[in-house]
Amino acid sequence: MKILSKKGYKVLVARNGILALQSVLSSRPDLILLDIMMPNMSGYEVCEHLKSNKQTHDIPIIFMSASDELFNKVKAFSVGGVDYITKPFQTEEVLARVKTHLTIHYLQRDLEKRNAELDAFAHTVAHDLKNPISAMITSISMLIDYCSDVDDTDIKELLFILLEGGKNAARIIDEILLLAGTGRGNVILEPLDMANIISKVKKLIKPMIDEYHGIIVHPSTWATALGHAPWIEQVWINYISNALKYGGHPPHIQLGFTAQVDGTISFWVRDNGSGLSHESQATLFKEFTRLDKVKAEGYGLGLSIARRIVEKLGGEVGVKSEIGKSSVFYFTLPQTSTLLTPPLQGEGSKIPLSYG
């Protein structure tokens, strides 16, 4: 298998069937080249064992056979093989078949992951839409059935529920459309006017800021990063909204940025809440998960979208937090060659993305 090693593939060799089974379980290869004739057990038997094991059943197996061996092609495919090569090997043929089946394997694995994400997404959307719509239906029914028997205060309360339910449903739909947009094509990265983006975000969520009596402190000037303004606007909305809902009472929120040594800029939101456990932090940005234990309704869909947006723009997301201390949610973006005037850290950024 020197021809594969020379092309950069990592190759492990097992001299018999038993060692082959042990090696596959411990190393989980992406593809197996399997001889028909081996000591202890035949290649057919090895393949049957691998295909009956949930841990190894999806690994593609290419059978190898000498030209003078009795090779049953039908049996090779029936036990789970995806292809076969006869000796003496032609280098180009071996490399082509290996590359083809690795590509198919990777595509299948990615498709399975996407399907799992789609199932989780559908479940989350159904759950998120059900609550506001149910509240709206209940309120409408009460207004219709009992309108003559309720006073103005009760009517206003029901109308407020309808209004909030409509807003929540519209927000979920906007998030769905935004998530769909991140999966299509490429975007052109442009210098971001972060001061203008923050000003717009504050206007958009002003009713929420007023409702929670939130105080937001941020720099007057910002470093210039590269990104896509409409998407970054949504990331800030998500981060700040979560800080308002799940931070301190009343929420005191700091926004800032820090230039990193790797050429990126870290933008962050620091709340004055009670912090998150390491277990909660590990699941925050995963696809469509919820943190019911910390009453973080709405985190799952919003933060998974934020992660997708930032990764699409070449950055990364994260959170630094400890129980009993505030949380810092951050995202990084590539910076332009020229930053705004010093300092390279925004107001409040002398509080780094770590503790100690």
- Tens of pLDDT, residue by residue over 139-163, are 777 776 666 565 667 677 777 777 7
Q: What is the pLDDT of residue 121?
A: 64
pLDDT beyond 50 at 126: yes
Does this model's pTM top 0.75?
no
Mean pLDDT of the chain: 79
- pLDDT above 50: residue 9: yes
Amino acid residing at 104: I
Would you place residue 176 in the very low, low, confident or very high pLDDT band (cuts 50, 70, 90)? low
Does residue 94 contact residue 5 with C-beta atoms inside 8 Å?
no
Strands (E), the chain: 32-35, 61-66, 83-87, 190-191, 215-217, 226-227, 252-259, 264-270, 317-320, 328-334
Residue carrying the six token digits 């720099």: 219
pLDDT recorded at residue 319: 93
Instruction: Give residue 301's pLDDT.
Output: 59
Residues 170-196, mean pLDDT to the nearest whole number: 72
pLDDT (0 to 100) of residue 73: 84
pLDDT for 285: 79
- Max distance between CA atoms of the chain, in angstroms, equals 94
pLDDT band at 350 (very low <50, low <70, confident <90, very high): very low
215 band by pLDDT with thresholds 50, 70 and 90: very high
Cβ-contact 10, 98 below 8 angstroms: no
Res 345 pLDDT > 80: no
| Residue percentage of the chain with pLDDT more than 90 | 32
What whole-number distance in Å separates Cα of residue 171 and Cα of residue 159?
Answer: 18
Residue 148, pLDDT score: 59
Residue 328 confidence (pLDDT): 94
Mean pLDDT of 73-94: 88
| Closest C-alpha to 47, from 11, 81, 72 | 81
